[in-house]
Amino acid sequence: MAEAISRRRARGGGGAARRAERTAVRIETAKYIERNIPNFEILTEEALEIIEANAETVLAEIGVNFVNNPAALDRWREAGAEIEGERVRIPRGLARKLCVTAPASYTQHARNPDRNVVIGGKTLVCAPVYGPPFVRDAGGGRRYATMEDFRNFVKLGYMSKWLHHSGGTVCEPTDVPVNKRHLDMLMAHMTLSDKPFMGSVTEPSRAQDSVEMCEILFGKEFVQENTVMTSLININSPMTFDDVMMGALEVYAQNNQACVISPFIVGGAMAPVSVAGTLTQVLAEVMAGIAYSQLIRPGAPVVFGAFVTSIDMNSGAPTFGTPEASQILYGAGQLARRLGLPFRSGGGLCASKLPDAQAAYETAHTLNAALLGGVNFMLHACGWLEGGLVSSYEKFVMDADQLGMLHKLAEGVAVDVNAQAMDAIAEVGPGGHYLGCAHTQANFKQAFWRTDLLDYKPFETWEEEGARDTQALASVRVAKLLSTYQQPALDPAIQEALEAYVEDKKASMPDAFM
């Protein structure tokens, strides 16, 4: 692997690239989180065993549907499942056994090796919001997202210290034809950021395009030997695996590229109204999906996904940041760890229409659960608004600031001699204060997490400056980040090759908007 990286670097090392590197503003990105704290485990051993036994019953007796996918049915039949129409019944223990070849963690490479991430074990990798067709900012309100918005969110993600990953569909660029927008989206991630990113999953052919563009960016051999994308494969809950998503999964697994295999569940609609029932279905679905990925290519990297929320039984609307969602996240994390798989859940999920107190309550509940629940890949870590319909500029930088908190909390509590601070307690003594003592002088710069956004000013100063709320402070920060953005250096030959690929692809098909 080290050799592959050095080859890649040498290939990309033209004079123009070196000049660009010298003049670039250095962007600080924190290393992905490596937890030094325990996980919170809400389910007892007995509860876990009940749910695991029930999930096996679901797979064996009810089964799952693989739709419009005869090849998948053949693979399952060969592996020992019972096939009836599109229904796949998986004998007890078979799915779990097939999951064993999936790695417990993997490295996703970025074009800047400093930005590589490890997904699995004690790590937590944060990626931005995924999928909204709308954007919102304080000045422009809510409107359909465009490619310009998409590029702006990639830039904000690149400049966000606590965000490790550039994500995928940071918003849907609705001004670009559906069948071509994946090309522009990938181009934005590849050229406007140097963080790792996600591939397209909306058609198997677009997954193939993603692989081919990565071969240009990273080198063909490097892509075959390493994971350079983590892409999002949703299961159509309950228990339906459609040919589009499975087709994309097949492309990625064949190419050793990672997929998050994620039931997408609004509890009460796509799963039972109970937490234990929902966890049973989640486990059955994920085991079936991951087992299938290992039938495609044993050892292909995958992530146990759980995107689960509940429904508001009054309005039918999905809710976020609720106690049931936290319970499910905690429980799903335990189930994933018992399978020995990386876990995806959480993020800055909220139902609110505005980046207001409701949004922040809901988001903070989910972020806390994600950190303590052992999430390894946190999609939607920032910018998510209105149940995922909207990518919010202000909430993007608000949430991204909050992610810094998770880094500090995850460090745990040091108890070395310096941290014990017994000299300081003796020096200050009863009735004194610590502001000037030697221990404070030596430690205050690293002692406490510092926000880049929130307000701690004296009331009078804050009032003189316009009594701004969090959204107003965030608008200022968005404008500042976008106005100071500088593109990270990229070998011009690679840039040209990517542009040529995109141009050719676009010319090869008519525009489609559905």
Site for its own copies, residues 172 to 201, rule: CB under 8 A? none
Among 5, 428, 476, 497, contact with its own copies (rule: CB under 8 A)? 428
The 70-109 contact track toward its own copies, x by CB under 8 A, reads -----------------x----------------------
Q: Is the peptide bond before 132 cis (omega within 30 degrees of 0)?
A: no
Angle subtended by helix axes 243-254 and 204-218, to nearest 10: 30
Considering only residues 311-340, where is the footprint of its own copies by CB under 8 A? Answer: 311-315, 317, 319, 322-324, 326-327, 331
Of 127 and 350, the one with the shorter C-beta distance to its own copies is: 350
Considering only residues 109-138, where is the footprint of its own copies by CB under 8 A? Answer: none
Could you tell me the smallest distance in angstroms from the CB atom of residue 57 to its own copies? 7
Euclidean distance between CA atoms 482 and 156, whole angstroms = 7
Does residue number 460 form part of the binding site for its own copies (CB under 8 A)?
Answer: no
Q: 275 near 327, Cβ under 8 Å?
A: yes
Could you tell me the smallest distance in angstroms from the CB atom of residue 301 to its own copies? 27
Could you tell me the smallest distance in angstroms from the CB atom of residue 281 to its own copies? 6
Of 14 and 412, the one with the shorter C-beta distance to its own copies is: 412
Does residue number 244 form part of the binding site for its own copies (CB under 8 A)?
Answer: no
Could you tell me the smallest distance in angstroms from the CB atom of residue 315 to its own copies? 5
Does residue number 239 form part of the binding site for its own copies (CB under 8 A)?
Answer: yes
The stretch near its own copies (CB under 8 A) out of 106-114, 150-158, 294-302, 454-462 is 454-462
| φ, ψ at 168 (rounded to 5°) | -130, -105
Q: What is the DSSP letter of 175?
A: T
DSSP 106-138: EEEP-SSGGG-EEEETTEEEE------SEEEET
The stretch near its own copies (CB under 8 A) out of 5-13, 143-151, 192-200, 307-315 is 307-315
- Give whole-number Cα distances, 427 to 166, 316, 432, 436, 437, in Å: 48, 61, 9, 11, 7
Euclidean distance between CA atoms 101 and 104, whole angstroms = 9
The stretch near its own copies (CB under 8 A) out of 70-78, 296-304, 422-430, 488-496 is 422-430
Could you tell me the smallest distance in angstroms from the CB atom of residue 3 to its own copies? 39
Which residues are CB-contacts of 256 (< 8 A; sequence separation ≥ 6)?
224, 225, 226, 227, 297, 299, 300, 301
Among 224, 358, 486, 487, contact with its own copies (rule: CB under 8 A)? 358
Give the number of C-alpha atoms closer than 13 A to the C-alpha of residue 87, restricted to the C-beta side. 11
Which residues are CB-contacts of 237 (< 8 A; sequence separation ≥ 6)?
263, 264, 265, 270, 271, 281, 285
Q: 70 near 298, Cβ under 8 Å?
A: no
Considering only residues 390-409, where is the footprint of its own copies by CB under 8 A? Answer: 398, 402, 405-406, 408-409
The stretch near its own copies (CB under 8 A) out of 17-25, 221-229, 425-433, 502-510 is 425-433
Q: Is 196 exposed, middle or buried (0-12, 13-18, 19+ CB in 10 A)?
A: buried
Does residue number 202 form part of the binding site for its own copies (CB under 8 A)?
Answer: no
Nearest alpha-carbon partner for 384 in 337, 370, 193, 376:
370
Could you tell me the smallest distance in angstroms from the CB atom of residue 452 to its own copies? 12
Does residue number 438 form part of the binding site for its own copies (CB under 8 A)?
Answer: no
* Total chain residues near its own copies (CB under 8 A): 119
Could you tell me the smallest distance in angstroms from the CB atom of residue 114 to its own copies? 24
Does residue number 445 form part of the binding site for its own copies (CB under 8 A)?
Answer: yes
Q: List, in sequence order, every beta strand (DSSP E) within 312-378.
A: 318-319, 343-344, 377-378
Considering only residues 465-504, where is the footprint of its own copies by CB under 8 A? Answer: 467, 469-471
Among 6, 68, 420, 484, contact with its own copies (rule: CB under 8 A)? 420
- Give whole-number Cα distances, 203 to 75, 97, 98, 502, in Å: 21, 29, 26, 16
- Give whole-number Cα distances, 368 to 138, 221, 363, in Å: 27, 40, 9
Q: Which H/E stretch holds residue 247?
A: helix 243-254
Among 293, 363, 376, 391, contact with its own copies (rule: CB under 8 A)? 363
| φ, ψ at 271 (rounded to 5°) | -155, 165
Of 21 and 49, the one with the shorter C-beta distance to its own copies is: 49
Does residue number 281 form part of the binding site for its own copies (CB under 8 A)?
Answer: yes
Among 70, 71, 462, 480, contact with its own copies (rule: CB under 8 A)? 462
Considering only residues 34-73, where is the footprint of its own copies by CB under 8 A? Answer: 37-38, 40-43, 46-47, 50-51, 54, 57-58, 61-65
Could you tell me the smallest distance in angstroms from the CB atom of residue 332 to its own copies? 11
